[in-house]
Structure 1
Amino acid sequence: MTYEQTLAYLENLSKFGINLGMARIERLLELMQQPQRRFKTIHVTGTNGKGSTTAMVSAILTASGIKTGMYTSPHLVDYPERMLINGQEITKEEFAQAIHYTSRFVEQMLAAGFEQPTEFEVITAAAFYYFAAMGVEYAVIEVGLGGLLDSTNVVVPELAVITNVTLEHTDRCGSTIAEIARHKAGIIKDNVPVVTAARGEALALIRQTAAGKNAAVYSKDRDFTGRFKGLANGKQQVCIDAGELGRIETDLNLIGCHQLENSAVAVTVALILGTKDKRITAGTIQQALATVCWPGRFEIIAGEPVIVIDGAHNPDGARVLRQNLDQVFPGREVTFALGILRDKDVTGIIRELIRPVDTVVTVQPLSYRAATPEEIAREIEARHVEAAAAIGSGIERAKYLAGSQGVVCVAGSLYLIGEARQIILKK
């Protein structure tokens, strides 16, 4: 199976959409001889920050000399971005081989009368196979959606991580914080410690679930804290205090107030692992955080104007993005290239992100679920709003309106920023 044939195979699977449930992935992995049991895992969920936290934990393990896989979704440009080993993407050929191997067992399932696995289930199984075949010691696994019924929830991890809980995916995970927290707490396993930055009602439900499984809970503000000390040389200077586990002062290569919280979670995970694995030290944690990258998440691209690319796609993410723009670019006007999926909280995102003095160019993300530029523009009250025919022309128009000393922010959807990043970096 070539990479092009693999894309066609996955595109065909994508027609089956999202279909939460564990029966298909469990049967598929059973046929594949349970590859996910051949390495240790860290399982990460949360409404926002789970990708950044996954990247930081993976970077720390890699810096500690531990062969580490990382599985995330969705990709920004190409599928192989979803599977990394020691920080390096697998090749298109390796990705195609892993999908081809997995597809043989899918065919066995179908021949036996089982339901067709979804695209995400097939990719997840392929990632587990590839990590096992490559002999990783650890894999840091990001949940696709929710947790309880997500296909990644077959793993029994060393640690479960729940970054935070806010309203998102209300059509699938429930319409209240409690219902969504119940889905995310579904990754908690018997006797497996939990690290979380959740608050309030969500934290209470996580504690209740953990107590029923004899799982210790390490929560932000009680068991660990993060403190911002300043900015220097394009990095945040932060201090993470996890009590008896340890205290780490370090540079953080990821910018934004939300990354302080994510780094506090990641460092606490590392310090817990470090109680049993002495390869993980303060030095390896500092080395990893000072160099870790996570494209498309408050990613600043220098130029005239400067461009910020951010995948914020819900109101909470939009609020944090606005805070970061105000902190990093105080007093400077921001021009937005904004694209949002129709099934997201379009009004809530705009309310948290856009101010009456802003300039906004609306664009259409590369998804059949995307709202049209005109639909988004009608929701916005700002100084200047216009709709663009394409992502590239919309970015160019935003740059022109911002001027050489301005700030352009491309945001609203992960299905926008991958294409936007390619366009911007090719200039």
Structure 2
Amino acid sequence: MDPLSYLFSLEHFGIKFGLENITAIVERLGRPDRTFKSVHVAGTNGKGSVTAMVDAALRAAGHRTARYTSPHLTDLSERFVIGGRPVAHDTLVCAAATVRDVVESLRFDGTLGVQPTFFEVTTAVAFELFRRAEGIIKAGVPIVVGPVDPESLSVIARVANERGATLIRATPADAAPFTLGLHGDHQRANAGVAVRLLEQLTARGVGVPSDAVARGLANPEWPGRLDQRRLPDGRELLLDAAHNPAGAAALASYLTAESQRRPLVFAAMRDKDIDGMFRILLPAIGAAVMTRASNPRSADPGMLADSARTIAPALPIAIEPSSTDALAAAWRMSPRIVVAGSIFLLGDVMQQLGLHSY
């Protein structure tokens, strides 16, 4: 089995909590994760946007960066970005082959009692790819926290205190002096986190002058997030990876500000809070076309339509078996449409239309 096919064969192993597998793999690889310094960006929403802005600002300041995110839109290489560009196919294949061979040897000698997951192995691939990337972050980076609910903040503050970490609050006002390249009011909060994080890096010897911060926030590369695309024939589509109520709220806020309500092409995974998304998103659109993504976890379009009709009985709703048919149906309603609900749906649509993610 070729290395990339091997990676994708692990997807059906799902999610496994614990660090035993990844620790064994990186130990056998020679601890590539210790050859560079890292910043971890965590949270339900906004992780990718913050990461993209920080990455762009660091590169604008002349630093070499590597970025690992998931999932991808159209190509696995999008998860592994070095110097602002996805890694080359051959480079990715080579790293994947190295990790595959290590996993197989660990399985053979009994060190790994269970098969590692897709995420565990792709994380090891990222470490292997990035071991040559220049380190950019000094040790002891504090915790920068954006707007969170009081209960979450209390937990974060307690853990930070227990571990002797400095807690720094970031607000949308921290990004007020800057023009943002990512659309949506919610990006102001994400940018505030990026600004405070970059301030901390500068204080610790990683020079990021204000003009580099400005360029980074104005020109991040993060496709599929309020991502407006125009086709050669003039038709338009807004691609957004909203896949939970918080993401739906950000998208709905953006759509509500427009003068005309767009038709929505929608698909979602079965395990998502679909009703929660619909309650927020459906009032902001003019019609909906329910479909499925090319992922086995994709919800049945008929079920989506039933849920939507319960929540918005007056909204025109159609059902199409494929994203290709759904796009055609939506464009018959309007030359300007929106596609949302699942990053897998966005990937399908971008491949069908020949749209590039980078």
Calculate the TM-score normalised by the size of structure 2: 0.92
Number of residues paired by the alignment? 347
Query: 1:215 and 2:165 equivalent?
Result: yes
Percent identity over the alignment is: 33
Match of 2:155 in 1: 205
Match of 2:254 in 1: 324
Structure 1 residue 309, shift from structure 2 partner:
0.4
Amino acid at match of 2:123: T
- Give me the whole-angstrom Cα distance separating, in 2, the residues matched to 1:33 and 1:6: 20
**Contact 2:255 2:261 (C-alpha < 8 Å) held by counterparts:** no
Q: 1:376 to 1:65 in 2, by over 3 A?
A: same
- Give me the whole-angstrom Cα distance separating, in 2, the residues matched to 1:116 and 1:21: 13
Higher strand share: 1
Which consecutive aligned stretches of 4+ in structure 1 deviate over 4 angstroms post-superposition?
Answer: none
Match of 1:287 in 2: 215
Match of 1:276 in 2: 204
**Contact 1:310 1:410 (C-alpha < 8 Å) held by counterparts:** yes
Query: 1:397 and 2:329 equivalent?
Result: yes
Matches within 5 A, 1:51-130: 51-113=48-110, 114=112, 115-130=114-129
Match of 2:319 in 1: 387
**Contact 2:4 2:96 (C-alpha < 8 Å) held by counterparts:** no
SS in 1 for 2:97: helix
Query: 1:195 and 2:144 equivalent?
Result: yes
- Give me the whole-angstrom Cα distance separating, in 2, the residues matched to 1:278 and 1:116: 39
Unmatched 5+ stretches in structure 2: none
SS in 2 for 1:333: coil
- Give me the whole-angstrom Cα distance separating, in 2, the residues matched to 1:310 and 1:353: 12
- Give me the whole-angstrom Cα distance separating, in 2, the residues matched to 1:421 and 1:50: 22
1:265-323 per-residue CA deviation (whole Å, 9 max, x = no partner) reads 01111111011225311011111111112100110113544311000000111011100
**Contact 1:196 1:265 (C-alpha < 8 Å) held by counterparts:** yes
Amino acid at match of 2:27: E
- Give me the whole-angstrom Cα distance separating, in 1, the residues matched to 2:279 and 2:63: 44
Q: 1:212 to 1:262 in 2, by over 3 A?
A: same
1:394-419 per-residue CA deviation (whole Å, 9 max, x = no partner) reads 012111112x3xx3110001111111
- Give me the whole-angstrom Cα distance separating, in 1, the residues matched to 2:14 and 2:285: 39
- Give me the whole-angstrom Cα distance separating, in 1, the residues matched to 2:316 and 2:98: 52
Query: 1:25 and 2:22 equivalent?
Result: yes
Structure 1 residue 117, shift from structure 2 partner:
1.6
Amino acid at match of 1:226: P
**Contact 2:72 2:78 (C-alpha < 8 Å) held by counterparts:** yes
Matches within 5 A, 1:232-251: 240=175, 249-251=177-179
Structure 1 residue 6, shift from structure 2 partner:
2.3
**Contact 1:362 1:377 (C-alpha < 8 Å) held by counterparts:** yes
Q: CA RMSD in A?
A: 1.9
Match of 1:343 in 2: 271
Greater length-normalized contact order (CA 8 Å, ≥ 6 residues apart): 2
**Contact 1:42 1:138 (C-alpha < 8 Å) held by counterparts:** no
1:83-125 per-residue CA deviation (whole Å, 9 max, x = no partner) reads 0111011011111100101112112211221222211111111
SS in 2 for 1:389: coil
Q: 1:125 to 1:416 in 2, by over 3 A?
A: same
Structure 1 residue 361, shift from structure 2 partner:
0.5
